[in-house]
Structure 1
Amino acid sequence: MGVSRQRHLNQALLRIPRRAETADRATLTATFVEAGSFSAMLHSTDHQIVYGRRGAGKTHALLHLADLVERTGDLAVYVDLRTIGASGGLYADSSLSPAVRGTHLLIDTLEALHEELLTAVVERDSAEGPGLLPALDALAEAATAVRVVGEVEQETKIGGTAESAYSAEFSRSPAAGVSGRRAVTAERSLRRRGTEQHHVVFGPVGRALRALTRALAPARLWLLLDEWSSVPIDLQPLLADLLRRSVLPVTGSTVKIAAIERRSRFRAPSASGDLQGIEVGADAASAVSLDDFMIFDGSRSRAGEFFGRLFFNHASVRLATMLADPPADADAFAAECFRGTAFAELVRAAEGIPRDAINIAALAAQYAHDEPIGLRAVRMAARDWYLRDKQAAIAAGEPARRLLRALVDEVVGRRRSRTFLLEQAAGTGHELVGDLVDARLLHVLRRGLVDTDQPGTLYDGFAIDYGCYVSLLLDHDATVRPRDRGWLGSPKGLPPDGFSFGKAVLDLSRLG
């Protein structure tokens, strides 16, 4: 293979966009890769919450869904919740009351929704539909209602008007004078002293949206809310309550919300004691975990197929303008770009996170220069990405770093493994474990495992991130390397005969 061809292949890996919002819709559609039945489940008309850690592909999935539904004639409105509101950190300003912060959040969200709806309607040339523009006007009016909160002061001046050769002027300080005209003025005024505050009444918002969906019929309205977890967590139930009361009941509408599970709160008690927000499983039909789909049930071949198509779909867009005869399919692309078992090692290093795979592949392509990417280049790239991104995510948290060190020492160092079990109550209740999962330093392989000897106790299976022990693979001999993924990472996920949960489960309280 010529040097120039290999350079183009490696450059194609380097140029893959790291974030979905930086690519245009056509590219997103061309590069999307389905993970099992996830796409079909997402395309249902049920209201859904889509969970996934950073880099799992939530934004790409929502934008791909928007393209799919628009092809069928429906209307998709995508709103990035990071972009709403004014600068200055209004929502996070603790000096303001939760009511003020929350109301501004609702107003800004409704205004963003109105703007996106208006843009979508104009682009579709649908503004001529009966009732569509009045419904949009009603939504705008509901989103910008204002009331004055404060003291009310009334000021009154009383008198009459007459003509005479003389004039007397009456007020709170009477005065008399001679004139050819007598004038007495009367005035009554009501003065308010206070501050104007926006307020949201859910009824008008719901009526405006119902009028909108009736005007759109038979087309369906799809509201796609991305980056839910960017909203301050104490305000999220308030925004969820707006959706529950004004959007979810509207016939002809579907709401999809993309969120990071541990950074989301959809329901909380209100000041009156009632529950406020969305009840998952009732108001929103289901919560879908993209992370669970990206495990591929422990199948290495399915994971390899997914990431092979991911790289090929992205790179082929570039290679079409760089090479006269680019690789014909994903297998051919992987065979030309990677040497030996390097691609399988890259899939392993990605741990089911597409953005991590893309970044590691780009770094490995830099190490390879004009050569096919080898095993060592993948491992050096994985180490660099771990140090640069993942480890930095917990740099400020000493307890989390201490727990991670203890887990690596125990699981990798003493047990020569990369997987371990935690009692479910301990795992979900241990805040630091959740922080490490959120930072992609631990990965959940199996949930709700049952010990037949103690069926009342459930366990979760975890894997330590590849980056935590990749230095061992680079710098030490095979005797200190962790063994393969074991039964937790196998497609069946069944423990071997004679396996003892009691001996295998980690006790976090005993870790040094």
Structure 2
Amino acid sequence: MGHQVDQLVKLLEARSRTSDALPSLRYVEDPRASLAAATATRHQIVYGRRGVGKTALLVESKRLAERDGHITAWINAQVLKGFSASEAFLFLAETILETIVRHVGSSIAPIVGELRERLQGVRLLRAGEEVSSRIVSGLVADINGDLRRVLRHDLHQLVVYIDDFYLYSAHLQAEFLDLVAALLRDCNGWIKLASIERLTRPYEPSTRVGLEVPHDATKIDLDVTLEDPKAAQSFLERVLSHYMASAGMGGVGAIANSESLGRLVLASGGVPRDYLNLFSNSIVVARERVKAREIGREDVAGAAGLSARSKKRDLELDVSSAESPTLLDSLERMSESIKGVGYTYFRVDFAQKMIPGYEVLSRLVDLRFAHLIQPALSDKHSPGTKYEAYVLALSEYTDVRLQRGLQVLDIEGGTWTHRQSGKAKTTIHLSGTQFRDRLRLAPVLDLEKLVNGGPRNVLLHDAYEHTNSRGEVFFLNSKVVTLRDKKTQRIYYFSKSLQPDYATGLPAGMTVRENPKNGFLTLIREGGE
């Protein structure tokens, strides 16, 4: 790993984060989001977690708009922090008017002079005392009248880009967007907004204020990640290949083996910026090994452990100071409970999707502490019951080496694999059916327990029961006991660390007996074993 690798690391560190001032090294169209859709003449909201490519999509859309001669205005919502809706609107109105006046240049058309006067009026309002909502409403109507004379299909088109909108106060978002939409009403002017969905309130139904999806604006969702690992790996490696080419290197396999490339997809959750940062950090970790020639699977695990700190910093930036400790507590309890029964993946019952605990889980997913891997999973033994399936972020069960004794899902060559960590030759490549069957054995998260102040164990039951058609018994690790009812062939899973009372969760008339001499457990039913 020589000079070219040094160049690659520098490039990844410098260019993995996109902004209007620093576009992508080269835009790679995400198969999950059409660039053509993002450039359509409609108001649009681009949703996605941090790092999925929202800004990159907006920047490329802006480049194409400017290529076609359109007027563009760009703001990052971080500059609106602390502004009321009216103050934020005046800031954007000033930006829009400045942009249009600059675009038309020295034109002597009467409307241009009127726009310059309107711009001066907005500047005076911003420099003065607090402006009443009545004055702002009148200003919206006046500016809209001016813009309708300029922003016409036979003259000019304006595209307003608002990045990181989730950084603006959620309770003011709908009011602000309502003012901006009114400003551009009946004009050839369009809003393109990027945000995190669960931190965004673009419309208030009770007052009918804001932008309502899909009536007023269309939604572009970039949040589909590991549900199709093959598509995710192909896309991410195409993005990485441009960085490697710029550093004068060959394909992505030149310094990383196939196992590590698959694990990078898992560790990143399919998020491009996380993927690039993890690749860079994996190189750093690999260099700590003597004569390392390529990135290995354990190097990615080490890099994932290092990334946990940056994700927790993101959490503190994205949520209030009061909410941050409660989310971290929920994450700790969720992670401990799932790993405590020997798993790294888990299920959530559809029936719990409307309770507050689901919002907590969704926030943790937005912050990349867990990843959705199956949006709908049936229950073979309970018709009508459905689950979502998730996997913990790799950073939650690794530091330097992957924790031992866990049932682990991994990705290799764009397909799912399953193995038991710390045990050789247990890797199984899973077909679609085998993958879903594995997920059906995962513990179920009880979202009612996940909310602030809930118990340490946040799983639905202390004993997990599954029917195994072959009657096999799987011994997961030293903390998990697996017993089979000889009569029904039903399998029961118990966690010693979470529930010392092994009988909890068993059907009536059944219990567990522990042999005091050897610690073996036996499943007992009334009338014999």
Whole-angstrom CA distance in 2 between matches of 1:389 and 1:401: 11
For 1:73-472, list aligned pairs within 5 A: 73-84=69-80, 90-91=82-83, 101-119=84-102, 121=103, 127-128=106-107, 130=109, 133-134=112-113, 136-137=115-116, 139-140=118-119, 143-144=122-123, 197=131, 199-200=135-136, 201=138, 202-214=140-152, 217-247=154-184, 249-268=185-204, 274-284=207-217, 286-292=218-224, 294-295=225-226, 297-300=227-230, 302-317=231-246, 319=247, 326-327=248-249, 332-369=250-287, 371-390=293-312, 393=315, 397-414=324-341, 416-423=343-350, 425-426=352-353, 429-430=356-357, 431-447=359-375, 459-471=387-399
Structure 1 counterpart of 2:65, one-letter code: V
Residue in 2 aligned with 1:17? 15
State the shift of 1:46 in Å.
Answer: 2.2
Whole-angstrom CA distance in 1 between matches of 2:381 and 2:147: 54
Compare relative contact order (CA 8 Å, sep 6+) and give the higher one, 1 or 2.
1
Give CA deviations for 1:280-318 in whole Å, capped at 9, x if unaligned. 11111x2121112x44x4233x2222111211223433x
Give CA deviations for 1:87-120 in whole Å, capped at 9, x if unaligned. xx643xxxxxxxxx3322221221122233344x
Give CA deviations for 1:221-269 in whole Å, capped at 9, x if unaligned. 222111211211221121111123222x324222211111111111236
CA contact (8 A) 1:135 1:212 kept: no
Q: Please give the secondary structure, in 1, of the residue aligned with 2:398.
A: helix
CA contact (8 A) 1:221 1:253 kept: yes
Whole-angstrom CA distance in 2 between matches of 1:429 and 1:500: 24
**Sequence identity percentage:** 22
Q: Please give the secondary structure, in 2, of the residue aligned with 1:282.
A: coil
Structure 1 counterpart of 2:197, one-letter code: E
Q: Which has the larger radius of gyration?
A: 1
Structure 2 counterpart of 1:262, one-letter code: R
Structure that is richer in helix per residue:
1
State the shift of 1:462 in Å.
Answer: 2.7
Q: Among residues 69, 94, 103, which one is paired with 2:65 in the alignment?
A: 69
Q: CA 1:411–1:34 in structure 2 vs 1: closer, same or farther (change >3 Å)?
A: same
Q: Please give the secondary structure, in 2, of the residue aligned with 1:380.
A: helix
Give CA deviations for 1:169-200 in whole Å, capped at 9, x if unaligned. xxxxxxxxxxxxxxxxxxxxxxxxxx673631
Residue in 2 aligned with 1:158? none
What CA RMSD, in Å, does the superposition of the two structures yield over aligned residues?
3.8
Paired residues, number = 422
Residue in 1 aligned with 2:502? none
Q: CA 1:50–1:275 in structure 2 vs 1: closer, same or farther (change >3 Å)?
A: same
Whole-angstrom CA distance in 1 between matches of 2:171 and 2:37: 30
Q: CA 1:45–1:480 in structure 2 vs 1: closer, same or farther (change >3 Å)?
A: same
Whole-angstrom CA distance in 1 between matches of 2:130 and 2:278: 52
Structure 1: give runs of 5+ residues left out of the alignment.
92-100, 150-194, 320-325
CA contact (8 A) 2:349 2:385 kept: no
Structure 2 counterpart of 1:409, one-letter code: E
Whole-angstrom CA distance in 2 between matches of 1:363 and 1:217: 51
State the shift of 1:17 in Å.
Answer: 1.8
Structure 2: give runs of 5+ residues left out of the alignment.
419-428, 450-456, 459-529
Whole-angstrom CA distance in 2 between matches of 1:498 and 1:349: 20
State the shift of 1:383 in Å.
Answer: 0.5
Q: Please give the secondary structure, in 2, of the residue aligned with 1:258.
A: strand
CA contact (8 A) 1:53 1:438 kept: yes
CA contact (8 A) 2:45 2:192 kept: yes
State the shift of 1:451 in Å.
Answer: 6.6
Q: Please give the secondary structure, in 1, of the residue aligned with 2:63.
A: helix
State the shift of 1:356 in Å.
Answer: 1.2
Whole-angstrom CA distance in 1 between matches of 2:242 and 2:46: 24
CA contact (8 A) 1:399 1:432 kept: no
